[in-house]
Structures are given as structure tokens and as C-alpha cells.
Amino acid sequence: MNGETGTTVRFRCGHGADAAEARITLQRDCPLCMLLAETKRSREQLLRRVAPAGRAALARETRIGASYEWICSRGHSRYTASVRETLTGPGCPKCARNAQAPAARYEGGVPFMKPGLKTRTSQAEQKLRMLLGERIRLPHRVNAIRINRTFYGKPEVWPDIIIPALRVAIEYDSPGRDKTSHRGLKEASDLEKDAALEEVGWAVIRVRADGLAALGPYSIVCSVVSAGVVDEVLCLLGVIRGEEAVTALMRSGPSG
Ligand SMILES: [Zn+2]
Ligand SMILES: [Zn+2]
């Protein structure tokens, strides 16, 4: 064998030397294909992560130690790493650092009790909570949800009603006494709040009262809070998390 042996080996998977030039055909897959199988990934998936300039070479690559430039799926800057590092670790150094960063990232989506939190609660909102509480079990010991960004300077949001078992928050929106106050600004901030919750796995149902139009994917437009509105909330909860999950929260008997 001469020094070019490495380039004249062909593997069972078809990688390595071209069939015409191959001096040896090994009856096993190339190391890269073997690692892909071990890590339950396909070469297509791997190719989607490499920088375009490396695509053609990676499509035929057999060595797991070969270095390539990769694109982070979370939008961090490109990074160089071996195929092995990319398949078995976080690869992207920024993602690796985030994975080790203090709790924050893991706490996103966790509901908790914020002591001393005072929010203005309207009678309509109280009525909604009471009527809903007659149908499903609502926790009393949570009033805030941790998020992965800040909202008005805080790493948390305070929805009106929180259902941790379903990871659904319910907001009661009404135009307020003067019916005009900064409606556009309020809507933008409400949508930002919804996005912050969705980011950590929560869905938001908005009960839009007294002339407010629908906002977000799960809106219930109504004039006042009624039993019918609560029926719609329960129906939406079923749409979002499945009937079974909602039934599990139901109080027994027709009205509990
Ligand atoms: Zn192969
Ligand atoms: Zn990254």
C-alpha cells in the first residue's frame, strides 16, 4: 500500500473513493455515516447546519475529525468545529455557554408566587375567575410566570389567570372607563407579552370585552363576562391542549 491508500478506499455507504478509482471497498459504512447512525441523525440534517461553502465537501466526507464552518440554528455567529463535536455536543460555543449559564434559561415558563404583587383587578376579571373556578380547578398560589426576556424591566409577566397544568394564561382586556386610552400601545405591549409567554411554552387566551377587537390567535370577543364566555374559554383550552387535559381539571358535578 502507498501513502494514497486513504483516498482510494471506498466504503459500503458509497463514500470515499469513486468506484472506478477504489483499490479497496470496505464492507462497512464510513466513520461519518456510522456516527450519524449512532446519533440518529441523517446526512441531510447535518448538511443543513454547515456553511454553504462546505456543503459539497461534507456531502462526501468520511472523517469525523474533519473541521467545517457551521451555522448556529439560534442565530449566533458561525463557528468552526469538527463533525464529531457538531454531532455529539452543542457545537456552537455561545450555545454551549448558554447551556451552562445560571438558571435563568431553565426557569423560563415556571409559574411562581410573587409576594406583595398588587394588580388592579376589575370586577369583570374577578367574575371571570370565579365562573371559571367553578368549572375547573384554578391554583391560588401562583400569580407570575418567569420568562426568558424582560418585560417592562422584569424577567416575568403577571397574567390575570394562570393555569399551570395546561400552561395557559388568560387575560381579560377591556378598554377601561374612557374607552380610548392608548389602545395601540396597549395592543403592542399585549402582543409582546404573549410572545414572551409563547417563547417559554405557554399559550394565551384573551377575553376581549366591551368593543375590543380580537387580538392574538385565541381571542374571545364579548360584551360582558358570562357563563357563555367561560364555555368558550373551556373550548379553547381543549383546542390548545386537548380535551383530555381539560377534563382532568374539571370539577366533578355539573357546577362543582
Ligand atoms: Zn458514508
Ligand atoms: Zn449558538
What are the pLDDT digits (tens) for 179-212?
655 577 788 889 989 999 998 999 999 999 988 9
For residue 90, the CA-to-ligand 1 centroid distance in Å is 23
CA distances from 10 to 56, 71, 176 (A): 18, 29, 74
pLDDT in tens, 26-79: 999 999 999 998 888 899 999 999 999 999 999 999 999 999 999 987 788 899
pLDDT tens, residue by residue, 82-106: 999 888 877 788 877 776 665 545 6
For residue 5, what pLDDT band results from cuts at 50, 70 and 90? very low
Q: What is the pLDDT of residue 155?
A: 84
Ligand nearest to the CA of 30: 1
Location of C-alpha cell 401562583: 142
Taking the centre of ligand 1 as the mean of its atom positions, its distance from the CA of residue 9, in whole angstroms, is 11
Ligand 1 centre and the CA of 12: distance in Å? Answer: 7
Question: What's residue 182's pLDDT?
Answer: 57
Q: Which of 82-86, 123-127, 130-134, 139-143 has the highest mean pLDDT?
A: 130-134
Q: Give the number of whichever ligand sits closest to the CA of residue 42.
A: 1
pLDDT score for 256: 40
- Amino acid in the structure at residue 235: C
Q: Which of helix, strand or coil describes residue 144?
A: strand
Rg of the Cα trace of the chain?
Answer: 27
Share of the chain above pLDDT 70, in %: 89
| Average pLDDT of the residues in 213-219 | 92
- 3-state DSSP call for residue 38? helix
- Average model confidence (pLDDT) across the chain: 87
- CB neighbours of 174 closer than 8 A, spacing ≥ 6? 122, 124, 209, 210, 212
What secondary structure letter does DSSP report for 7? Answer: G
**pLDDT score for 99:** 63
Query: Does residue 227 carry a pLDDT above 90?
Result: yes
- Residue recorded with cell 365562573: 131
Between the CA of 64 and the centroid of ligand 1 the distance, in Å, is 10
The ligand minimizing its distance to the Cα of 32 is 1
Coil, helix or strand for 121?
coil
* pLDDT class of 133 with cuts at 50, 70, 90: very high
Q: For residue 254, what pLDDT band results from cuts at 50, 70 and 90?
A: low
pLDDT given for residue 216 in this prediction: 87
**15 C-alpha to ligand 1 centroid (Å):** 5
| Residue whose cell numbers read 449566533 | 76
Across 106-119, b (16+ Cβ under 10 Å) vs e yields: ebbbebeeeeeeee
Closest ligand to C-alpha of residue 63 is 1
Identify the nearest ligand to the CA of 70 by its number. Answer: 2
Please tell me the distance between residue 31's alpha carbon and the centre of ligand 1 in angstroms: 7
